[in-house]
Amino acid sequence: MSDSWKLVLPCTRAEAEAIDVEDEALAMLEPPPVLMTSERVADDDGAWQLEAFFDAEPDAMTVAAIRALVPGAAALDIEPEYIPDQDWLTLSQQGLEPVHAGRFYVHTENNRGDVPDGAKAFRIEASTAFGTGQHDTTSGCLMTLDRLKLSGRHFGNILDLGTGTGLLAFAAMHLWPAARATASDIDPRAIEVVRENAAVNAVRLGRGPGALSLAAAPGLEHRLLRTRGPYDLVLANILAGPLIDLAPAIADALAPGGVLVLAGLLERQRAGVARAYRRQGLRVAGRIHGEWPTLRLVKRRAAHRRSHRRRATQTGATADFGSW
């Protein structure tokens, strides 16, 4: 246990959903705060809040970076609150409820609850990486994986790109236990989180069938990622901008007939993301609707794919690619 600090800023739902966790000012903070957004008043889009938890007293630059995330609170005189003798990570998890998506049930150590009959439970703690299952993007990917299994699809070589906490890779390995699986993230800290979560959830790490290999890399710029391809299932729960930038590299890494699951995009960004992948020879085969849709695409088995590579993706990398 240790002392901690918390900053609570009122905001609107639109401001909460517009928060960019890859913001350059946030990336400069060390250690990074844990951020949570939630409703203050149920079903009131104007009554949301941003909570930032710190394990030390934040300096003026840190407070300013957090305030900049919600412009509507810029003029409010709200200062960080000292919370004595508390575990800041546990505090950040107190409002989290277990998530039941498809056949998967995701919980933290403090909120396991009753696991539904027939559900596969994963314990994923809140951390500096995303992917706990709480966000619609992650639960949408879990439901898409469940539907792929129900449809009779089989996969033998799986990539979770921008893995965050490893949850999607774990879920795919549960559904196709004989597959080779790879998980990567641009942030080396996320890879350490995946290692910890793999141990907690009895997921085997390694190079062979039924094991998960890990790599810290931007995009697909890592020897391991290149040599283990092509993949017949790629999961990419990132953000719309990086998804578009990485379209040529991801398409190249996907086997003909392979399935690509995309998330991290808003509904208003869906058409642009889908268009970027159609240009690379993929077609949209299904989606989960909502404010944060999940797209399922299939790479055509025989298609003349025109090159639409943007300058930032000539090597398959993009500067702002990271965890979701």
The token pair that represents 322 in the structure block: 């990271």
Kindly report the number of other CB atoms within 10 A of residue 319's CB atom: 12
Q: Is 282 helix (H, G, I), strand (E, B) or coil?
A: strand
The verdict on whether residue 185 carries a ligand-binding annotation is: yes
Evaluate whether 146 touches 104 at the Cβ level (below 8 Å): yes
Q: Which residues contact 283 (CB under 8 A, 6 or more apart)?
A: 297, 298, 300
Pairing label, strands 282-288, 294-299: antiparallel
The verdict on whether residue 182 carries a ligand-binding annotation is: no
The verdict on whether residue 237 carries a ligand-binding annotation is: yes
The DSSP line for 48-93 is EEEEEEESS---HHHHHHHHTT-GGGTTS----EEEEEE-HHHHHH
Kindly report the number of other CB atoms within 10 A of residue 59's CB atom: 12
Residue 153: burial class (beta carbons within 10 Å; 0-12, 13-18, 19+): middle
Q: Which residues contact 68 (CB under 8 A, 6 or more apart)?
A: 23, 25, 74
The verdict on whether residue 162 carries a ligand-binding annotation is: yes
CA–CA gap between residue 276 and residue 274 (Å, rounded): 5
Q: Which residues contact 57 (CB under 8 A, 6 or more apart)?
A: 5, 80, 82
Interior angle at CA 207, CA 203 and CA 210, nearest 5: 45
Annotated binding site: 138, 162, 185, 237
Residues marked as binding for S-adenosyl-L-methionine? 138, 162, 185, 237
